[in-house]
Amino acid sequence: QVQLVESGGGLVQPGGSLRLSCAASRSIFSTYHMGWYRQAPGKQRELVARITVAGSTNYADSVMGRFTISRDNAKNTMYLQMNSLKSEDTAVYYCNTNPYAELAWGQGTQVTVSS
């Protein structure tokens, strides 16, 4: 079973930036479309960005222009560059396949945007 490990979260002030990483235990990015998801307290998990096997990207309207998804196939790692962070971006961020989350969820990485 493939393991996904998210990292890079933390506490940041509004307007700040973070880069999240998602490390896969083996090569999967040439097989699966991938997504970054987030879950805020009391809310359902939502997709914020996706990247296809071919490298096409899509973003939720709420993060368009601020977040950038990318990957490094050689490192089995996917990234989410988050700029101009807002308080409403506070959540636990996860990675998984897309459109269906076929792999076991990792522990996620907490992002807190607060002054």
pLDDT for 108: 98
Q: What is the pLDDT of residue 27?
A: 95
Contacts 24+ apart (CB under 8 A), 72-77: 73/27, 73/29, 73/30, 75/23, 76/23, 76/24, 76/25, 76/26, 76/27, 76/28, 76/29, 77/21, 77/22, 77/23, 77/24
Please report the pLDDT score of residue 71 as a whole number: 97
Average pLDDT, the chain: 97
Q: How confident is the model at residue 96 (pLDDT cuts 50, 70, 90)?
A: very high
Contact in structure between 3 and 104 (CB atoms under 8 Å): yes
